Every structure is written in structure tokens, then in C-alpha cells.
Amino acid sequence: MDFYKEWLGIPDGPRPPDHYELLRVKRFEDDTDKIRAHYKKLNTHVRKYASGQYSVKSQEILNELAKAMLCLTDLDRKTEYDEGMGREVPVRKDSFGRAPLLDVLVKQGKISRQQKTEVEEFAGKRGLSHRDAVVQMKLVEADAAAQALAIQLGFSYVDLEDMLPEDDILDQVPRQLVKKHTFVPLFIDDDRLLVACVDELEHELEDELRLRYDVPVRAVLATPRAVSQAIAKYYAPGARDEAKSSAAPTKSGGKGAKGKAAKSDGGGGKSSKAAEAKIPFKELPAEEQASRKQTGLLIMCWSVMIPMAFKLMEFSETLKPYLADYKFLGYAWMLAFVTGPVAVLWVTQKYWK
């Protein structure tokens, strides 16, 4: 006896039938209310046979109906089921029109819908990005994850082993800035600076690079390991500790930051000193930072010690006769209440910035 045909009115065909045919809804039906309504109707009908001679078969079909309904009312499970039946499911996009990374990997067949859920849980518990999570879980190779992220962000993916950055481009950013933000400037292409990075560039960094090179910036993605290796190769310790103000190619005939600085400064030697003075403290070489810290501490100490020295002179029997005619010097120590805070403010807000 064909119970599917007799009880549910399903025509002859594959047994067991697919979820849609079992619930008597059209193939790829997306209306969950309609799916549940059909399930309740069929469930009520099949229960009529639960207490008779067909009680066992009735329970089996009731279980099949329940499993089909649960699958087709779960968006992720339904999407995976539909794709298995040959349905072309468009990738869902975020508010910026971008396909989420995990959906891209599912579309590419790199991970399953079930694995997508596992990745989301894994990443959430450990505070990881989805790109790092799929790599740590060994579901996807690092280059495939980077390529999927590039698709999500609308960037190009590059293999840095095939790229040869230009020296004059590398010279214009200091090693510390590159290491801090994990990127490598490559070259000027179509009046844009190509920058290899592991994710989107921060707006502040993008603005700084635009000022340094005098051209817009275009990011290209690479694996974290490839970028780190490139930084180690092109920005070895001691190399490019300070940025050189070499000219960056521009539309206006190749005059870059150095040419502009020389023009505004009359072509003298002050331009290089001015450029150095504008370099943020955190981007200076470690040796220069240590030197400035020591100098700053000395300035703050002496700003208090020198005025206080006049107060100490009053206790010297040898110096008292000489100070008799300069009594105002005895009050000079009070300057410490002014010079001390001023020195601290200048050092911390200017000299160390």
C-alpha cells in the first residue's frame, strides 16, 4: 500500500517524496505561514490512523511531516536544502550591498550552511572575525578566506609573492606606521596608490597616506601572513625607520611632497627639519623616542630645581653676604610653581607628541 498516495494524495514518484511534495506545497515555497498551515492540516489528517492497524506507519509519516516543516521554516536550513535541489539562491547582502563573508564561502562551496552557524558561534565566543575563524577552524585556507573577504568588500586580491613594491614608494612611510597598521604600499597605478592590507583601511590612515603621496588610495587584500612577511622583508629593523620626503608621481608633472616643501621654504635646508618636526612622536625610531623621553624628563626636573636652588642659597653662610643686595632672589623659588607646570605641559603636549 502506498501510504503517501492514499493518505496525502501524493502522485506516483520517488519515495519518500521531497519536503515540498510531502507538505503539498509548490516547490521552493518561501511563505512559512503557508508551509505551517499545510503541515497542521496534514498532521490532523494522518493522526486519524494513529490508533488503528496503521499506527506505526502513521507515526513514521507524522515524524516525516514534522521534519519537513522544521526544515522549510528555518531560513538557513531551507536555503541549503533548496540549493541541494538545484535552486539558484541569491546571496543575501548587507545595507551596503555587500555579501557577507560566510555567505560568499557557502556560495563557493567552501563551507556548508551548518558550518556557517558553527563559525559564527566560534567567532562570537573568541572575539574573532569570520575570516580568522574559518582559518583557525581549518575549514578554509588563508588565501581562500582572503579572496572571499575581497569579494565581500569589493576589493582585488593579490599574491604579494608576485608583487614588487617600488623603493621610492616604500620610503615614504616609516617602519613603525607600517607595522602598527599592517599594510605595505606597493606602487602608483592609474594615479592611485595601491596598498596591500589584510582588511579595510582606517579612514585616518587613508587620509594620512593621501597627504603623504598626494594621490588617492586604493586598497588590495592579501593574507595576514603575506603582509607580515612583506613588512619583515621591506621594513627590516633599522631600515626605513624614518620616512623620506621623496617626490611622489602626480598628474602635475611628478612634483610630490618634497617639491612642494622646497618651494614653500625657498629651497633651503629648513624644509627637512620642518618635516622631521612634524613627524609624530610615536612614529619616530625607538632610539629617538628614548632620547626625547630623557630630554623631556630633564627639562621638567630642571624647571623646578633651578628656581628652588635660590631658596637653598639662603641657608648657605658663604652666599648670604652676596645675596644681601639681591633680596628678590630669595623669592625666586616661587617661580617653580609656574615653571614646573608649564614645562610639564609643553613636554607632554608638544615635545612628546
Backbone angles phi, psi at 195, to 5 degrees: -125, 120
Is position 15 within any domain?
yes
The stretch 101-123 carries a mean pLDDT of 90
pLDDT of residue 315: 56
- Inform me whether the pLDDT recorded for 282 exceeds 80: no
Is position 77 within any domain?
yes
- Inform me whether the pLDDT recorded for 44 exceeds 90: yes
CATH number of the domain bearing residue 57: 1.10.287.110
Clarify whether residues 186 and 232 are in a common domain. Answer: yes
Clarify whether residues 78 and 139 are in a common domain. Answer: no
pLDDT of residue 277: 43
Comparison of pLDDT for 204 and 351, the residue scoring more: 204
Q: How confident is the model at residue 199 (pLDDT cuts 50, 70, 90)?
A: very high
Clarify whether residues 126 and 180 are in a common domain. Answer: no
**What are the C-alpha distances in Å from 19 to residues 65, 73, 84, 204?**
8, 11, 12, 52
Clarify whether residues 107 and 186 are in a common domain. Answer: no
Is position 261 within any domain?
no
Clarify whether residues 249 and 296 are in a common domain. Answer: no
- The model's pLDDT over 228-252, given as tens digits with 9 standing for 90+, comes to 999 999 998 888 888 876 444 444 3
Clarify whether residues 193 and 145 are in a common domain. Answer: no
Positive/negative CA dihedral, 299, 303, 306, 308: negative
Q: How confident is the model at residue 272 (pLDDT cuts 50, 70, 90)?
A: very low
- The model's pLDDT over 132-186, given as tens digits with 9 standing for 90+, comes to 999 999 999 999 999 999 988 888 999 998 889 999 999 999 999 999 999 999 9
Instruction: Kindly report the number of other CB atoms within 10 A of residue 131's CB atom.
Output: 25
Is position 96 within any domain?
no
Clarify whether residues 28 and 73 are in a common domain. Answer: yes
Whether the bond between 249 and the residue before it is cis, its omega within 30 degrees of 0, is no
The stretch 9-33 carries a mean pLDDT of 93
Clarify whether residues 144 and 222 are in a common domain. Answer: no
Residue of 30, 9, 15 whose CA lies nearest to 72:
30
Backbone φ/ψ region at 256: left (φ over 0), alpha (ψ -120 to 50), beta: beta
Q: Does the predicted TM-score (pTM) go above 0.85?
A: no
Compute the distance between CA of residue 321 and CA of residue 319 in angstroms, rounded to an integer: 6
Compute the distance between CA of residue 104 and CA of residue 149 in angstroms, rounded to an integer: 8
Give the DSSP H/E element, type plus range, for residue 276. helix 270-277
In total, how many domains does the chain have?
A: 4
Backbone angles phi, psi at 215, to 5 degrees: -145, 155
Comparison of pLDDT for 15 and 92, the residue scoring more: 15
- The model's pLDDT over 49-63, given as tens digits with 9 standing for 90+, comes to 988 889 999 999 999
Is position 221 within any domain?
yes
Polymer length in residues for the chain: 353
Give the DSSP H/E element, type plus range, for residue 192. strand 192-197
Is position 17 within any domain?
yes
Is position 112 within any domain?
yes
Label residue 3 exposed, middle or buried (CB < 10 Å: 0-12, 13-18, 19+): middle
Residue 129 domain boundaries: 101-153
